[in-house]
Structure 1
Amino acid sequence: MHGESLTNTSTTLINLDDDNRENNDSNIDDDNDHFNDPNDNLNEMFHDLETNIGADDQEKLQLFEEEGKPLYPGCEKFSKLNAVLKLFQLKSKNGWSDKSFTNLLVLLHYMLPEGNELPLSTYRAKKLMCPMGLEIERIHACPNDCMLYRNEFENEHKCFRCNASRYKRKKETDEVDDDVTKNGPPAKMLWYFPIIPRLKRLFSNEKEAKLLRWHSDERVNDGKLRHVADSPQWRNIDNMYPEFGEENRNIRFGFSSDGINPFGNMSSLRSTWPVLLCIYNLPPWLAMKRKYIMMSLLIQGPKQPGNDIDVYLSPLIEDLKTLWSSGVDMYDAYKKEQFKLRAMIFCTISDFPAYGNLSGYKTKGKKACPVCEDETSSVYLKNCKKTVYMGHRRFLPDGHIYREKKEEFDGSTELRKIRKRFDAFSRVKNLKTVLGKKTVSGKKLCWEKELALRKVLFGKTSQSFGNYLTGNI
């Protein structure tokens, strides 16, 4: 019951517009494989569910009963659960809305023979499959981004910093119940999708577990840069942490976050922030596929968190610290063995404003460059009220012809040199970070907070993360 195949399943492939499929996906399209597979190994899945849920939830698990029911009297090809699974695969693959899916279920219900077991709504279909779903944590947050109501603050009703109410209420003086679930909707909410169960599900599939070893087993290592594993940074991390590098199944994440408008119009009045993780162990043609990108956090609007994004990153960082330090016991369905999985954030992907929020550096104004800092060459244009950044000739080699030209540039020769590299961590090691909205101090600093992702990028080696930011590795 650890993922091994109980039967020799022969798959009958259906020609689904092969001419339009990508060549790289021809052998790894799991969705089509599962859709056409007559044996879904449901018994193995049921056994796993039965042994992994608590005793209090056993009565809620009705999959055994539902799986045994035929879709309609006399149907031998599809069970009730099997049919719903196939339909949900189509819904996910084609991006159907819940409303259109409900209309389809109603139509199919009336097209099938009387007495059929097909659900009549998307809600009922999801309730049928809920035991197979992944865990979701709904965490209440302060509307001013000061704190999350979790751990020791789980039962609090007001923010300990700004004293704002936890709930959407007409009057702040309204009485509150000790049970936080009875006081109305939260003023703001964070959705956290734990990453450890999702990694376990990836490794429990033999095909996916094999793909997670691709960078080590199948990558062509000829000195050319075709994959992230060919980069000097990948090799430097292996040298700095040999125990981490020896296990080729250890995960290296790419961390990305940015604001989006969930309503699809050009208005900027609302900003919702998803936090995504991509897996660089995978082949390059799969690493950025939607199937393998994990949305770990969803920070609700209407306003962006800004520098206080650290407040919302805390549940993710806790899991990443666990994956980095002690690791998590994992079963590899490809190798048929247990191992200790560790993970780290290999790099971050963001635009410049989001980079400023994550790193704590002010990416606006006269000193907007985090590499040049005080030596940033900037000019303020009074008429258009914009700051522009000039003086890039100093990055040219000594004696370059452009350094001597005047008329083509700003009327002067360029004699400055490239700035010497520095340790970014030295700028923030004595900085006391205060999360949540606060009054602006009189002294303006380029760095406003200790780097949020420093410890999960390189464990406790802050020096290494400073080098990472300034491009030394």
Structure 2
Amino acid sequence: MLPNGEKLPENLYKTKKQLSKLGLGYKKIDACENSCILYYKENKDRQECPVCFHPRYKPRKSGGRKQVSFKVLRYLPLIPRLQRLYASSYTCEHMSWHAKNGSVDDMAHPSHGEAWKHFDGTYPSFASDPRNIRLGLCTDGFSPFSNSSIPYSCWPVIITVYNLPPWMCMQKPFMFLNMVIPGPKSPGKNIDVFLRPLVDELKTLWTSGVETYDVCNKQNFNMRAALMWTISDFPGYAMLSGWSTHGCLACPYCMKKTKSFLLKYGRKASWFDCHRQFLPPSHHYRRQAYKFRKGRIENDPPPLRLSGEDMCRIVEQLPDITFGKPPGGKQPIDGFGIYFQNRSGKH
């Protein structure tokens, strides 16, 4: 099949061994069967989960020598992949594109948006070096066995580099697969357990940075990185942010000031006619009493947007969450939905 003189590796093992020399390998991190913990750092040497006491390894078969974990997270380190962007002359010259093309009339890149500019104004020391990297995170579940009758959901986590120009940053070579969260079920709120290795790397990249060689300038520099945003659908947003997107309190903007209601017969949450409060005060739609919800006009202003400090104070008041999936079902969270129950008096 191949021409004479080809030098491709003979098998998969030799291929992986060759790629590992390029710094493109991955780590296997054992995880609890019930997604309570990772056997990582302080739990590295444990033989059972301290939360649910489930054993780490499957029972050995007769004659078996190697211990097999019940669940394994495959993690591809982020820092070496970012450093390689500056080790290649092809990508290095494009990593400062956003600093040279930031002032345009039409938005063609995230660097032209208000969020990027606000971040630069908030952290001028980070923005002072255009080589510092802006990242985005995307995750969603998929079934690798679509033709099988047994449902299985695994969750890849992909990191995108936004320093690159728009015709490069969304291409496959620059969308780094960071980890594959194993199934067979969705991790739910336990996704935080699996994201811990990535969080540790992001903390290092933000606080102290890592020494990196810049092949274009022929010098070392301290590379830092920041995670700017996440990209997901609404259920994935619930997992990444911790905000429940189910029920009457599902709107992450209105929060407890929501105007949602339950349908009379279906008893499902509805947000019909919640949009009129975002219109200008003089808009004629606000005074139409029979074209939206019957007999109701809208005089209220939109809910105030909470600041980062306000959100931090709210999160600090939340109770501690015990991660994991107990055999008996879901873990109840104290106080979940109590505000809406008291406000409506109906459910």
Cα distance change on mapping 1:267 and 1:290 into 2, 3 Å: farther
> Which residue among 244, 253, 266 is the counterpart of 2:135?
253
Over 3 Å counting, the alpha-carbon distance change for 1:215 and 1:266 in structure 2 is farther
User: 2:332 maps to which residue?
Assistant: 440
2:121 alignment counterpart:
239
Measure, in 1, the Cα distance between the counterparts of 2:226 and 2:266.
44
Structure 1 residues 339 and 407, CA gap change in structure 2 (3 angstroms): same
Q: TM-score, normalised by structure 2?
A: 0.86
CA offset at residue 308 of structure 1?
A: 1.2
Identity percentage of aligned residues: 37
Conserved? CA contact 1:261–1:268, under 8 Å: no
**In 2 relative to 1, CA 152–126 (structure 1 residues): closer, same or farther, beyond 3 Å?**
closer
On the 8 A contact 1:254/1:345 being kept in 2, the answer is yes
Letter aligned with residue 431 of structure 1:
L
The one-letter code matched in structure 1 to 2:303 is: R
Structure 2 contact 57–68 (Cα < 8 Å) conserved:
yes
Q: Does the C-alpha gap of structure 1 residues 247 and 268 become closer, same or farther in structure 2, counting only changes over 3 Å?
A: farther
DSSP-derived class of the 2:189 partner: helix
* In structure 1, C-alpha distance between the alignment counterparts of 2:193 and 2:8, rounded to whole Å: 44
Considering only CA atoms, is the larger Rg found in Structure 1 or Structure 2? 1
Is 1:317 paired with 2:207?
no
Which structure has more helix as a fraction of its residues?
Answer: 1
Aligned to 1:156: 46
Matches within 5 A, 1:339-354: 339-354=221-236
1:205 and 2:88 aligned: yes
Question: Post-superposition shift, 1:223?
Answer: 4.1
Pairing partner for 1:421 from 278, 302, 305? 305
Instruction: Give yes or no for the alignment of 1:386 onto 2:238.
Output: no
Q: 2:56 — aligned with what? A: 166
Contact 2:93 2:216 in 1 (8 A): yes
Contact 1:367-1:446 at 8 Å conserved across structures: no
Deviation per CA, 1:383-425: give whole Å up to 9, x if none. 5553221222111111321122222211122222211222322
| Mapping 1:58-207, distance limit 5 Å | 107-108=1-2, 112=4, 119-169=9-59, 184-207=67-90
CA distance in 2, matches of 1:129, 1:351: 33
Amino acid at match of 1:329: E
Aligned length: 328
Q: Give the superposition deviation at 1:227.
A: 1.5
Indicate conservation of the 8 Å contact 1:188/1:300, yes or no. Answer: yes
Change (3 A) 1:227 1:191: same
* Matched-pair contact (CA < 8 Å) for 1:251–1:280: yes
- Asked if the contact 2:104/2:112 (under 8 Å) is kept, the reply is no
Query: 1:445/1:428 Cα in 2 relative to 1: closer, same or farther (>3 Å)?
Result: farther
* Displacement of 1:232: 2.0
**In structure 2, what is the Cα distance between the partners aligned to 1:408 and 1:266?**
48
Mapped partners of 2:69, 2:291: distance in 1? 59
Contact preservation (8 Å) 1:207, 1:334: no
d(CA) in 2 for partners of 1:196, 1:308: 24
Equivalent pair of 2:73/2:194 in contact (CA under 8 Å): yes
Report the RMSD for the aligned CA atoms in angstroms: 2.6
Change in CA separation of 1:442 and 1:413 when aligned onto 2, cut-off 3 Å:
same
Residue identity opposite 1:154 in structure 2: K
Alignment of 1:253-332 (within 5 A): 253-265=135-147, 269-332=151-214
The residue aligned with 1:9 is: none
CA 1:331–1:379 in 2, change beyond 3 Å: closer, same or farther?
A: same
Larger relative contact order (Cα-Cα within 8 Å, sequence gap ≥ 6):
2
Q: 1:118 to 1:367 in 2, by over 3 A?
A: closer
C-alpha deviation, 1:210, in angstroms? 0.6
Residues 266 and 288 of structure 1: is their aligned pair in 2 closer, same or farther, counting only changes over 3 Å? farther
- Hey, what's the Cα distance between the residues in 1 that align with 2:209 and 2:230? 21
Report SS of the residue matched to 1:140: strand
1:130–1:329 Cα change, 3 Å:
closer
Is the contact between residue 214 and residue 283 of structure 1 (CA under 8 Å) also seen in structure 2? yes
